[in-house]
Amino acid sequence: MRVIITKDYEEMSKEAARIVVNRLKEKPDLVLGLATGSTPLGLYRELVRIHKEEKLSFAEVRTFNLDEYIGLKPDDPASYHYFMFENLFNHIDVRKENIYIPDGLAKDPEKYCQWYEEQIEKAGGIDLQVVGIGRDGHIGFNEPGSSLASRTRVKTLDEQTIKDNARFFPRLEDVPRFAITMGVGTILEAKELLFLASGTEKSDIVAKAIEGPVTSLVTASIMQIHPKVIAVLDEEAASSLQRKDYYRYAEEQARRFEGGFV
């Protein structure tokens, strides 16, 4: 795993955007996995800026989102459909038919989840998957105890996740209790993972995910067995890492060599 420690959230977002842009320039028809929440907002703002100011095109890109709440309409301001269109898709030239976000209103969720997996496979798999981390260590909505081989499915949300996400809803009781999420196994099949984390409140769980044991109790820890992961963290999120001095040294060395990967 390559660990890049940045000064602050803004620098983290720009570094993450640089990585996405480089992959897009290498492969204009990139299959891009996307995440929601406050962490990737800066990344999306930077991609929009680059699209508008530097004319970077997303016309051939296909996107797959990690998750969506069960029971929310796409135009609900708390839905991830709404989030993605408001913060990214409405501002770039991605084709609507190339956007895949789980359908929280699917009449047969189990069958729909199978269909979603099939669409990822038909696209040739995800080239670059953006992931964040919940305070309980989840990626997507793969809560503690999720199978590390799990596929896209309906998942019951943990109480901690419900409390953490309550800020996006009028009341705590309005937060959905279920979501469709890519499974841990699905995420692990992406060719490359771009892991983002920011803030002191994430520092302990980030350390467990990067340096702790691989365990279903911290589903993000599965990234340790993926062959190509870039973690971009701000100073606060990296503050509990035991080997942060090594990560800084390794990154300095990697940047001496074009295309270097550690």
Q: Is 67 one of the catalytic residues? A: yes
The DSSP result for 55-71, as a single string, is: ----TT-EEEESEEETT
Q: Which of 201, 192, 188, 195 is nearest to 247 (CA)?
A: 195
Instruction: Provide CB contacts within 8 A for 212, sequence distance 6+.
Output: 218, 221
Hey, how many other C-beta atoms are within 10 angstroms of the C-beta on 108? 9
Out of 15, 51, 81, 138, the active site residue is 138
Q: Is 204 one of the catalytic residues? A: no
3-state helix, strand, coil in the chain (%, to 5): 40, 15, 40
Q: Is 158 one of the catalytic residues? A: no
Q: Is 75 one of the catalytic residues? A: no
3-state secondary structure of 9: helix
- Contact indicator for 158, 138 with CB cutoff of 8 Å: yes
Out of 143, 158, 234, 236, the active site residue is 143
Written as one letter, the residue type at 228 is K
Q: Order of strands across the sheet with 99-100?
A: 2-6, 229-234, 193-197, 128-131, 31-34, 62-65, 99-100
Out of 15, 46, 67, 158, the active site residue is 67
Q: Which of 75, 82, 78, 88 is nearest to 34 (CA)?
A: 88
Q: Which two tokens stand for residue 59?
A: 């016309």
Q: Which residues pair with 65 in a beta bridge?
A: 34
Distance, CA of 164 to CA of 232 (rounded, Å): 22
Out of 136, 189, 235, 251, the active site residue is 136
Catalytic residues: 67, 136, 138, 143
